[in-house]
Structure 1
Amino acid sequence: MRWIFFLLVVVNLGLFGWFMTTERTPAKAVVVSQADRGADTISLVSELDPEELAARAPVAEAQPPAPPEPATGTVTDPLCTMVGPFDEAYQGVDVVRRLQALQVEADLRDIEMQGQMRYWVYLAPLNSSKDAFRKLRELQAAGVDSYVIPKGSLENGISFGIFSEIDRAQSLTEELRARGFDAEYREEPQTYLERWVVLSSAGPAVDGGAQELVGEEFWQQLQLDYPDIGRRQNVCSEIREASAEQ
Structure 2
Amino acid sequence: MRWIVLTLLISNVAYFAWELVRGSDYAPAEASASVLPPLKGKALVLLTERLPDTASSAPPPAPVVVVPPTPVHREVDSVKAKKEAMCVSVGPYEAESDGEILVKNLKVEGFTSKVEALELSRDVQYWVLMPPAQSRKEAMAVLRNLQAKRIDSYLVSTGELKNAISLGLFNKEQSAKGVLASVREAGFAAELRQKERIQNEYWVRIPPEQPLENLQKTLETLVVSGGSVKISNASCEMFALTQ
Same fold (TM over 0.5): no
Name the TM-score class by shorter chain: 0.3 to 0.5
Q: So what's the TM-score if we normalise by structure 2?
A: 0.42
Q: So what's the TM-score if we normalise by structure 1?
A: 0.41
